């Protein structure tokens, strides 16, 4: 894959690359429909019957996301090592995808039950929250192995375009998923959106399951389970001796902290703080999704010209401005501007970050550093929601002010990330 560089049309029409991109289409249906839209709506409608309880609902949403991320932290050190030692990626993508799909369907089946109370709450509500944590953990775990497939699909000059293709097709999946749910679910209770989203995730994952083939790789001797944690610690030490990738890991930690938290809390914030109806928020989210597609495509090409480092700086700056606009009590129409800018940042961050990891990783250790990359990302996905949820919990008596303060805390995270990112020396576009 390191020889001839294919034209974009050759890449996009390649069956393995199309199957790879279509999986982005599939899994974004889950992340958009369940994580960003309908699970927060379900929690807010069930818990948030007054301004104080609306903030408690935000805390439940944030903490559920934090628990799922913490579970991934426990296992993430093993994933990259498994990839490098066995070369197997597809097997784990399939297993984790099926787990996510089963949990999503379970959320839809049990989410409406209220014939018993557990911990003082409807049993269906408790089951839906637990199954959400399992589904999101499986979703994030599968993505570690999925991202690891990228380096086997093209050379370093092709990878930004392949990554951008996948992300752009993924956000088309967002639009498809929303329209499918609106068409088929209609006015039925919101928990019905969960099972349909799971089924759609499965259907569009099938091409990757059948088309992608792992590269044969000589197996290494089996070692003790805990060796994986020692290896990830060794990778961390190795990253410290390579300042550029070390600084990027820290920068991504803080910037992803803001991005992942904003994605999780966008729906309750727009509805309970800004004042949009759930239906109006769907339109806002679809608008942001369109800008995500545009951003993914534009920044994949921009990366080739400006280099990954400078492009990532632009993206983080756009995210900072978007959060600032949303956090300040401005006229409602300004939230549309924030949503558009956030969409651009959301779509392009995945494109450039995956490319940077491959550029900065030592040759032959991409999988190992993707494991460390996932560890950094998911550690931040614990801290951000915990901070956000704790602020809304502690300040719940102040109503919407609690959420504005919580969102403002994300600006500090982005600024810290930009400071570390500025210390990266590697700034050359891939050859």
Helix axes 278-306, 159-185, angle to 10 degrees: 170
| 408-413 long-range Cβ contacts below 8 angstroms, 24+ apart | 408/323, 408/327, 410/257, 410/258, 410/261, 410/262, 410/323, 410/327, 410/384, 411/258, 411/320, 411/323, 411/324, 411/327, 413/254, 413/255, 413/257, 413/258, 413/384
pLDDT value of position 3: 56
Residue 2 has pLDDT above 70, yes or no: no
Q: What is the pLDDT of residues 4-43, one digit of tens each?
A: 677 777 777 788 888 988 999 999 999 989 999 999 999 9
* Cα–Cα distance measured from residue 258 to residue 343, given in angstroms and rounded to the nearest whole number: 14
Is 165 among the domain residues?
yes
Q: What is the pLDDT of residues 395-404, one digit of tens each?
A: 999 889 999 9
Q: Which two tokens stand for residue 66?
A: 């934090």
Is 278 among the domain residues?
yes
Evaluated on CA atoms 386, 390, 393, 399, the torsion sign reads: negative
Percent of the chain with pLDDT over 70: 90
Domain total of the chain: 1
Is 1 among the domain residues?
no
pLDDT band at 315 (very low <50, low <70, confident <90, very high): very high
Is 5 among the domain residues?
no
Query: What's the domain range around 374?
Result: 15-213+227-421
At 116, which CATH number?
Answer: 1.20.1250.20
For residues 42 and 36, is the Cβ–Cβ distance under 8 A? Answer: no
pLDDT value of position 429: 46
pLDDT value of position 94: 95
Is 221 among the domain residues?
no
Q: What is the pLDDT of residues 186-201, one digit of tens each?
A: 889 999 999 999 999 9
Angle formed at CA 180 by CA 276 and CA 26, multiple of 5 degrees: 100
> At 129, which helix (H) or strand (E)?
helix 123-148
Is 218 among the domain residues?
no
Chain position carrying tokens 């349909």: 196
Is 6 among the domain residues?
no
Is 3 among the domain residues?
no
């Amino acid at each position: 894959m390191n020889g001839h560089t294919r034209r974009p049309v050759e890449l996009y029409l390649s069956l393995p690359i199309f199957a790879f991109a279509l999986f982005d289409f599939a899994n974004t249906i889950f992340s958009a429909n369940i994580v960003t839209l309908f699970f927060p709506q379900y929690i807010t409608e069930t818990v948030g019957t007054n301004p104080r309880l609306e903030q408690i609902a935000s805390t439940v949403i944030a903490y559920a996301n934090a628990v799922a991320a913490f579970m991934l932290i426990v296992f993430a050190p093993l994933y990259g090592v498994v990839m490098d030692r066995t070369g197997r990626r597809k097997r784990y993508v399939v297993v984790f995808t099926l787990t996510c799909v089963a949990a999503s369907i379970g959320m839809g089946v049990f989410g409406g039950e209220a014939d018993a109370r557990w911990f003082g709450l409807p049993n269906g509500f408790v089951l839906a929250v637990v199954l959400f944590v399992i589904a999101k953990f499986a979703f994030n775990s599968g993505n570690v192995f999925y991202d690891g497939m990228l380096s086997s699909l093209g050379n370093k000059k092709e990878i930004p375009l392949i990554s951008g293709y996948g992300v752009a097709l993924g956000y088309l999946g967002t639009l498809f998923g929303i329209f499918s749910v609106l068409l088929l679910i209609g006015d039925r209770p919101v928990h019905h959106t969960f099972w349909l989203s799971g089924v759609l995730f499965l259907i569009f994952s099938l091409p990757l399951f059948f088309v992608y083939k792992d590269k044969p790789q000589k197996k290494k001797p089996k070692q003790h389970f805990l060796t994986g944690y020692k290896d990830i610690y060794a990778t961390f030490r190795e990253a410290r001796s390579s300042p550029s990738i070390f600084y990027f890991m820290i920068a991504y930690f803080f910037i992803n902290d803001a991005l992942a938290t904003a994605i999780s809390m966008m729906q309750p914030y727009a509805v309970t703080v800004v004042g949009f109806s759930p239906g109006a928020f769907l339109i806002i989210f679809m608008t942001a999704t369109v800008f995500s597609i545009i951003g993914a495509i534009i920044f994949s090409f921009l990366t080739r010209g400006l280099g990954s480092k400078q492009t990532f700086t632009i993206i983080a700056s756009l995210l900072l401005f978007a959060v600032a606009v949303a956090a300040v009590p401005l006229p409602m129409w300004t939230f549309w501007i924030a949503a558009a800018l956030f969409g651009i940042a959301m779509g392009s961050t995945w494109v450039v970050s995956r490319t940077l990891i491959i550029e900065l990783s030592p040759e032959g250790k991409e999988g190992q550093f993707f494991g460390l990359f996932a560890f950094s990302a998911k550690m931040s996905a614990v801290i951000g929601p915990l901070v956000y949820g704790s602020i809304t919990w502690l300040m719940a008596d102040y109503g919407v002010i609690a959420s504005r303060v919580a969102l403002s805390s994300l600006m500090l995270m982005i600024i810290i990330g930009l400071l570390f990112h500025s210390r990266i020396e590697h700034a050359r576009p891939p050859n």
